[in-house]
Amino acid sequence: MESSTLLSMPAEVRLNIYSYLFEDASIHIDSSTSSTKPGRGRPVLAPLLETCTFFRNEAGPSYFSRVRVCSDVHQGVEPTGLLNWLHKIGDLNVKLLRKFELRWNNYIDITLDLEHNAIPARNTSIQEEPAEPLLEKILDLTKNPIEPYSALTIPTPEHMAHISTHNPTASTQVSSHHTLSIKGVPRITCPELYWKLHGTKEYCAALTKQVFPRLAATLKGRPRLHLTLEEIAHFVMDLDMHAAHLRWLWYW
């Protein structure tokens, strides 16, 4: 009996394999370095795409349309690592990217999801509450004393599950073009106290309100949703600018 290989399979079968293989794929990029070399345990691309030109060309669209691009954004620092990676994969593959996860200054997480197919637009009002004056927020905290805690306390699995699923700072907007979500970075110790003291909920809502319309205007009228390399760079730098200004103007 002749042994079967990946190359001997029908193209349709291989494409189904790629879809399954890349379903939860993600790439983590260090924006603070100009090097495109992978870090230890962090390949630049999926290993399959590094084998030969045939697999790279055939599996590439499936990979790039599914992979989550994760990167840190540091205030006032150009995301050199991210831009170099985008240059490396080429303009055609950049336009296939659909999912971005950015962490700004280790304070907020920004998730951008470009849908393949248009979804019914729905009116989504930003979860916004009147911002309390800073003094009132601090006084409110002093009126409700909390239990003392140790920075070395090891959280229980139940506590970690609460942190990962209960995030009252999340602000999400959905359109027929894309989904944009901004939320506070979870903290191991007293996350909700931290968010309340720092005005994180109001901050996320205000930042979403500023960034969303610009992104919607960029994507408007495109039959197949995509962002070019230059547009991704502008989005990241625009996000950094607004995030920094909001922190300076009002929020800690």
Query: Does 212 reside within a domain?
Result: yes
Q: Is the pLDDT of residue 213 over 70?
A: yes
Domain membership of residue 36 (yes or no) is yes
> Which residues span the domain enclosing 105?
9-116+168-250
| pLDDT, tens digit (0-9, with 9 covering 90-100), for 132-191 | 444 444 345 444 444 443 333 344 444 444 444 568 899 999 887 789 999 999 876 777
- Whether residue 134 is contained in a domain is answered as no
Which among 59, 30, 58, 65 has a CA at the least distance from the CA of 44? 30
Q: Which DSSP symbol is given to 38?
A: P
Report which of residues 238 and 155 the model is more confident about. 238
Q: Is residue 140 part of a domain?
A: no
Find, among 136, 198, 191, 200, the residue nearest to 163 by Cα.
191
Place of tokens 């691009």: 69
Report long-range pairs for 244-248 (Cβ below 8 Å, ≥24 apart): 244/75, 244/76, 246/203, 246/206, 246/207, 246/210, 247/107, 247/203
Mean pLDDT of 219-225: 84
Grade residue 233 by pLDDT with cuts at 50, 70 and 90: very high
Please determine, for residue 117, whether its predicted confidence score (pLDDT) is greater than 60: no
User: What's the total number of domains in the chain?
Assistant: 1
Q: Answer whether residue 199 is part of any domain.
A: yes
AA letter at 204: C
Identify whether 107 is part of a domain.
Answer: yes
Q: Using a cut of 0.75, tell me whether the model's pTM lies above it.
A: no
Judge whether 87 lies within some domain: yes
- Residue 161: inside a domain: no
